[in-house]
Amino acid sequence: MRFRGYRRPGRHSAGRWIVAALGLGLLVAALVVANGPYRQTREFRRVAACQAGGTECFAGEPGTIRGRDEYTTTDSNSNGSTSTTTHYEVTWEESGGGRQTREVSWDLYRHAEDGAPATLRRWRGEVVALETGGTTEWFVPRAGQMLWLWLILAWFGLGVTLWGLLFGWWDGFFFLGYRTFCWMFVSLVPVAMTVDALAYGLHVGAIFVGELLFGIFATAIGGWMLVSTLKRW
């Protein structure tokens, strides 16, 4: 079955090589820029390991819990089914009077009482851990967030490169957007788990196994959705 606007270029057409070159350029550029955040994330990992060993390696300051919030979001997939996710947020006040709100786990949320004392752990000026009620929540530093972003862009560049080299047909903006979504969806959980492992180390346990199984499931779904659009090739 062919759709209106479907065009399959020749194997050696200039358009396919241009697409592949653009994708390769984006891939290389993203990996080069990711080198800085990668080194910073590894440095953070060394300090986090020092903290876990019982030595106060992060600068700490007193704080106070100033509020909690709980809300839900609803997402729909391509099959029309919906899923609801509950989010938990905690607001704390720093010793200087500034306030910050972050999404946290259910475990810290249920222990964070309004007005309760807290300890804030800082690294290079940013809060990377919140301790209250006997529970500690760690946050990925900005370097890790930037590393995640550049790795995602590198994955996108890889997809563009492969599309130009192996496929390269044109069958409309809808399928272009749909395939891009599927390709990027495949990378979300693996890249996030990789950044977390770089920042905090690899700790095999029930939480890790659950995240791994979810990652495999999500990657398989995204891959199946992508491959199903290539059967016309």
CA 196, CA 140: separation in Å to the nearest integer?
A: 7
Sheet arrangement for strand 126-132: 99-104, 82-94, 59-76, 117-123, 126-132, 135-138
pLDDT digit string, tens, across residues 137-164: 888 889 999 999 999 999 999 999 988 8
The model's confidence at residue 80, banded by pLDDT at 50, 70 and 90, is low
pLDDT of res. 12: 56
Does 77 score more than 70 pLDDT?
no
The highest-confidence range among 64-68, 74-78, 135-139, 222-226, by mean pLDDT, is: 64-68
What letter represents residue 150's amino acid?
W
Closest CA to 135 of 88, 190, 97, 176: 88
pLDDT-based confidence at residue 117 (cuts at 50, 70, 90): very high
Average pLDDT of span 48-76: 76
Mean pLDDT calculated for residue range 41-69: 77
Cβ atoms within 10 Å of 150's Cβ, excluding its own: 20
Average pLDDT over residues 208-222: 74
Query: What pLDDT is attached to residue 223?
Result: 78
Query: Mean pLDDT throughout 60-67?
Result: 89
Residue recorded with tokens 């390709």: 183
Question: Are 199 and 45 within 8 A, CB to CB?
Answer: yes
Considering the domain 58-138 in this protein, what is its CATH number? 2.40.50.660
Q: Is the pTM of this model over 0.75?
A: no
Mean pLDDT for the chain?
A: 81
Of 55, 59, 180, 33, nearest to 127 (Cα)? 59
pLDDT in tens, 118-142: 999 888 888 888 999 888 888 888 9
Can you give the pLDDT at residue 221? 81
Euclidean distance between CA atoms 87 and 106, whole angstroms? 8
Burial environment of residue 89 by CB neighbours within 10 A (0 to 12, 13 to 18, 19 or more) = middle
Residue 34, SS3?
helix
**φ and ψ at residue 71, rounded to 5 degrees:** -150, 165
